[in-house]
Chains A and B, each alone.
Chain A
Amino acid sequence: MTGIRISVPDTAETGEVIEIRVLIQHPMESGFRRDNRGGLIPRDILTRFECTYSGKAVFVADFHPAIAANPLLSFNTVAAESGTLNFRWIDQNGAVWEDSAEIIVT
């Protein structure tokens, strides 16, 4: 159901500020829309995104319905050491989607 796309550089120099871009396929149903019978379509959104670098949190986002469908995030982090970047999305019911990327820092 869910497609995740992640863009992290494969390699970086120590101390370099790198850009990370992540996208997840999700309707982000706002809960304000109505169906063709006039009934409210229930809200179904991701509420949190977390990025950890070698186990340490480097970026966290809280989403409200104002975030567009298929939420895209672009943020930065300092390439501190070679390791794993882990990405987690959590929806309003606590369901989790995860992915990760490796980076080699020289």
Chain B
Amino acid sequence: MRTDERQALSISRRSLITGVAGLGTLALIRSPAAAAPEDVIAAQRALFGDREIQTGRVMVTMPPIAENGFSVPFEVEVDSPMTEDDHVVQIAVFSPRNPLPDMARFHLGPRAGRARVATRIRMSGTQAITAVAEMSDGSLWSGSAETVVTLAACIIL
């Protein structure tokens, strides 16, 4: 009887420890894009695997307010010397609120000279757009910017 109790206790303690550890790992993975829903995390995983995405070096520029989500100016610039040894390989752009989390992907190299891309994007509602840059050394960096969309584009997108 006592052994049973002890066993039960040890099991619960073990499950508690693994549970806490699991939570910690989860928090670690989720921290780069805490506000982003599961779709963005899944899309980033599909592209970059389980590698850690650090915050910084990537600057996303968008207007603070957009009248509609049809065509919102979007610019991304990555802090990189863009040399043969140290350059941006690709930049992927993700949306937490559009029907598809993947928005665009830009492939660059040392021939770009400057890691900057500008385009116009569709937004189905107010959201923070995240860009993730992959460097030539394999490290991943992210940055984001939020635009308030006054006319939600969920119908038009």
Q: Which chain A residues have a beta carbon within 8 Å of chain B's beta carbons?
A: 17-18, 30, 32-33, 53, 56-69, 71-78, 80
Contact = CB atoms under 8 A, between A and B. Distances in A.
26 contacts: A30-B99, A30-B122, A32-B99, A58-B111, A58-B112, A59-B107, A61-B105, A61-B106, A61-B117, A62-B105, A64-B102, A64-B104, A65-B100, A66-B98, A66-B100, A67-B103, A67-B119, A68-B119, A68-B120, A69-B71, A72-B119, A72-B120, A75-B112, A75-B118, A76-B112, A76-B116
Q: Interface residues of A: mostly helix, strand, loop or mixed?
A: strand
Given A30-B122, A33-B156, A58-B112, A75 B106 contact: yes
Interface of B: 70-72, 75, 93, 95, 98-100, 102-109, 111-114, 116-123, 155-157
B112 A66 contact: no
B152 to A, nearest CB: 13
A32 B122 CA distance: 12
Nearest to B117: A75
